[in-house]
Amino acid sequence: MKELSQDEWQKKAKKDDKAVLLDVRTEEEVDEGYIPNSKNIDIYKGQEFVDEVDKLDRDKHYYIYCRSGKRSSQACTLLDQMGFAETYNLAGGFSEWEGEKETN
């Protein structure tokens, strides 16, 4: 896992043809807004989260975020342990995100 600033995270993800944006927040949090083109898998779902993550392509590079950066850091560690190639945590999380946002 690499902890990246918002600027680094955004620039790296844009240039990375293997990038997957992964939002590990709850559905309620996602309803308040999300980063475009991100996939949501709620880390609070425990085993269900692990099962969903297990279906993902381990060769892709995962750019992970939550509200503050704590849950996404845990998710990065978990994906690293599961054998994923590269994970990047968004420092400060969505609460400090100044880039593009979408809402449902």
Token duo for residue 7? 């600027």
Strand boundaries in 17-94, DSSP class E: 19-23, 38-40, 61-65, 86-90
Which pLDDT does position 43 carry in this prediction? 98
Structural domains of the chain, with CATH: 2-96 (3.40.250.10)
Which is catalytic among the residues 21, 64, 66, 91? Answer: 66
The reply to whether the predicted model has a pTM over 0.85 is: yes
**Residue 66 falls in the annotated catalytic set:** yes
For the segment 24-75, what is each residue's pLDDT rounded down to a tens digit? Answer: 999 999 999 999 999 999 999 999 999 999 999 999 999 999 999 999 999 9
pLDDT band of residue 104 (cuts 50, 70, 90) is confident
